[in-house]
Structure 1
């Protein structure tokens, strides 16, 4: 007698898991073929690290988060190699907490040694899609902070908000104490329900989030050509230049800070070349310039000097700041290194600036001709 084979049950989460695997299987095409293909083995390796990192952040945000039992998740730090992504830098800690727009929350902590810190709420047009609107923004100037650096405040309900992101900027991330952030929901929590439908929805949201990330990265160096898109920051179209600085609007793609100005560029350097960047910064709470690879990521703070900021930069006699960028550490007090990378991207940011900054001046020179001292 022949037995009839038992049909394998089909679950929504099983189908969604397969869709996520298919998404992951195809995303490396963004950096190994086509007009955005990277050109050296380190960037290829960085591409797979970016895939792993963004997968981890996506699962933390969508699969494991409980908006009625929130916690602030580390998404960028100066010290974690698995959180180098999305426009990170060596001077800052970022945390994220998915929340429910219909609930009330209490947030408290201590400012530590932060020069600037903030909390921003963003929308989510549909599950897994990136924000296109700043819904809430509070920086440390808006908070009551006591003599010990402690703060506490409440938020919500807030229509359209889906996630809270914290920012914490340090002059010296190797010695500075980060802001401590705590959050609790003031309303009764939902029952824990990790069922088939909920898990499938979370996996699909994670896949959507990953697909968007790899529409943005890798960033191009030099002219974009037919590859141009409207996602992410406004990057200069020519290597060894910066785009015009701009103030972040309320309607903005991704998770930029509302009271920040940005200027983004790229570098393409031979071993014996350097960029000499001179900027006159407006009055602001904090500014920095950081070197990225093409995946909007830098190294850990202790790996090498890949950023300079308002506290670490030595100004020129006229108040301007000159920064030297080269593939190895140069002699100038404000020199930063690409850690050997020949190509990549550069990012200026200014917080609470009293005006939109002037465009940085950039010169490509031979490394031996780069300045070695302030003037």
Structure 2
């Protein structure tokens, strides 16, 4: 006690917290680092690799070789990189497939993979082996969605995210109880039991639930109360019933494994993206100011259901390219469907600012005539004619126009486009 009283304040506190042995360990490790360099742990190697991955996004993905040359595109690409890092951290650093929990996949401030302002998406990683082969049980409650679905995706690795569909179920196949609750068994084989069944095999890496709403006012993605209610009502239970309580402390190997998954996830959605236009689905037009003929994502010609699309949805998309004195007029007819909307994205498949601007329109927000026909301008300036709907381009020279038609029951007309001088 007397010796501690003679020590400088910081050292005295260190001795009090860690004991003499703990302080001596620090002294020893500090000396070793000076002579031999930093201790090489698995997590440190993976952490530095993650930083290298972020640098690679800048050096490779945001380069002239990828068509990225303007200051604006470079800056927005850096934003994408950190959005991917944020999403990757939530799902691959903090989630555990043995105890999965559905969390929002994209938000107004974390965007990727063609997010939709009229929808709430939830994601969780799954792994059949984490359930001792028993699978999972999903319970939830219908919240008045225009369209709701559950999709199980497979990928070549857990961080591959969603490369192909294994099984899918929409609201029409869910066995809702009188209180609008439901149960879905996610197992390898249907052995009977409560609720509905979806096949989950060894290839499945994740689950995505979609919740579409056609609100006439504010985009549903801005409704934090509803988003929290859905998240709290949709629960995934491991049928294998792991009885061990998580330690809360990740060891060196496990932390390294999770950091590597985050790196892999970032690469998969940046430097690893296939940007070959010849591999794009037929409904995506690469002719400026032309929207491709909408088609169901599950069409055989669409590369065997690869990617994160949904089999129930017909998509149509294309690029707009405008000068400040031009507008792109889009006309057509909304088909018979459960849900329809159009969204503006940047080149990195992120929606434009729907918090402060009108950058998306669903059917209830459109001025449709008695036949269901629309007339929309994409431009920097709002049209003076109140009968014309407006999508705010934010003054951008270029971007992506993306249509969704959910569960269409008839033919879908290709949207017509023409340049209008302002």
Same fold (TM over 0.5): yes
Specify the alignment match of 1:99 in structure 2.
126
The match for 1:87 among 89, 114, 117 is 114
Q: How does 1:150-165 map to 2 (within 5 A)?
A: 150-157=181-188, 158-159=200-201, 160-165=203-208
Aligned length: 354
Distance 1:39 1:366 in 2: 25
- Secondary structure at the aligned position of 1:325 is classed as strand
Q: Structure 2 vs 1, CA of residues 215 and 25 (structure 1 numbering), >3 Å: closer, same or farther?
A: closer
Specify the alignment match of 1:47 in structure 2.
77
Q: How does 1:350-369 map to 2 (within 5 A)?
A: 350-355=405-410, 357-367=412-422
What's the offset of the Cα at 1:205?
2.1
Specify the alignment match of 1:293 in structure 2.
346
Which range moves more in the overlay, 140-149 or 13-22? 140-149
Q: Cα deviation per residue 1:100-140 (whole Å; 9 max; x = unaligned)?
A: 22343222233223211111000121242243320121111
Specify the alignment match of 2:394 in structure 1.
339
Specify the alignment match of 2:264 in structure 1.
208
Whether the 8 Å contact between 2:383 and 2:390 is mirrored in structure 1 is yes
Whether the 8 Å contact between 1:97 and 1:165 is mirrored in structure 2 is yes
Q: Cα deviation per residue 1:286-344 (whole Å; 9 max; x = unaligned)?
A: 01110111111124543111111122222234332222211233244422111222211
Q: Is 1:303 the counterpart of 2:356 in the alignment?
A: yes
The match for 1:116 among 125, 136, 147 is 147
The match for 1:268 among 315, 321, 327 is 321
Distance 1:342 1:217 in 2: 24
- Secondary structure at the aligned position of 1:314 is classed as coil
Q: Is 1:131 the counterpart of 2:158 in the alignment?
A: no
Distance 1:277 1:326 in 2: 11
What's the TM-score, normalizing by structure 1? 0.85
Distance 1:31 1:235 in 2: 22
Q: Structure 2 vs 1, CA of residues 23 and 230 (structure 1 numbering), >3 Å: closer, same or farther?
A: farther
Whether the 8 Å contact between 2:125 and 2:158 is mirrored in structure 1 is no
Specify the alignment match of 1:223 in structure 2.
none
Q: Structure 2 vs 1, CA of residues 48 and 35 (structure 1 numbering), >3 Å: closer, same or farther?
A: closer
Report the structure, 1 or 2, having the larger helix content: 2
What's the TM-score, normalizing by structure 2? 0.76
What's the offset of the Cα at 1:229?
6.2
The match for 2:279 among 221, 230, 238 is 230
What's the offset of the Cα at 1:14?
1.8
Q: Is 1:257 the counterpart of 2:310 in the alignment?
A: yes
Q: Is 1:240 the counterpart of 2:294 in the alignment?
A: no
Provide the alpha-carbon RMSD of the alignment: 2.7
Specify the alignment match of 1:169 in structure 2.
212
- Secondary structure at the aligned position of 1:214 is classed as coil
Which range moves more in the overlay, 349-358 or 144-153? 144-153
What's the offset of the Cα at 1:65?
0.9
- Secondary structure at the aligned position of 1:152 is classed as strand
Distance 2:69 2:146 in 1: 36
The match for 2:92 among 59, 62, 79 is 62
Distance 1:240 1:115 in 2: 30
Distance 2:287 2:55 in 1: 31
Unmatched segments (≥5 aa) in structure 1? 220-226, 368-375
- Secondary structure at the aligned position of 1:267 is classed as strand
Which range moves more in the overlay, 128-137 or 147-156? 147-156
Q: How does 1:3-82 map to 2 (within 5 A)?
A: 5-6=35-36, 8-29=38-59, 30-41=61-72, 43-77=73-107, 80-81=108-109
Distance 1:161 1:189 in 2: 19
Whether the 8 Å contact between 1:218 and 1:294 is mirrored in structure 2 is no
Which range moves more in the overlay, 279-288 or 149-158? 149-158
